[in-house]
């Protein structure tokens, strides 16, 4: 299992952080596995569109751009989930941006 996760890739370099932090606080770009097995993605965490304990998520993978500390998603539909509605899978999934 990997120990780091890529946070940003750009002309000025690559940034990563410990994967262990994702177990307690999902970040923009993290995947969501729905009950039917399909994948969605966290768009925002506690920002303008949702409260500090909520996650604005896309129901599908859509098309994404990974920036420093944020992800821009073209797709949908979107919904807001409470943190208590998410259960960590303790798994890593490969996903393209």
Which pLDDT belongs to residue 36?
Answer: 93
Which pLDDT belongs to residue 41?
Answer: 85
DSSP code, position 59: S
- For 51: left if phi > 0, alpha if psi spans -120 to 50, otherwise beta; the answer is beta
Its pTM stands at 0.70
The residue ranges of the chain whose pLDDT is under 70 are 1, 21-23, 64, 66, 69-71, 90, 92, 94-97
């Amino acid at each position: 299992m990997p120990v780091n996760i890529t946070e940003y890739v750009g002309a000025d370099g690559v940034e990563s952080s410990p994967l262990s932090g994702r177990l307690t606080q999902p970040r923009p770009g993290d995947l969501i596995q729905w009950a039917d097995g399909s994948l969605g993605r966290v768009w925002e965490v506690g920002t303008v569109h949702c409260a500090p304990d909520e996650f604005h998520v896309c129901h599908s993978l859509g098309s994404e751009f990974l920036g420093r500390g944020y992800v821009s998603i073209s797709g949908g539909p979107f919904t807001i989930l409470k943190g208590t509605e998410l259960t960590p899978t303790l798994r890593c999934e490969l996903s393209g941006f």
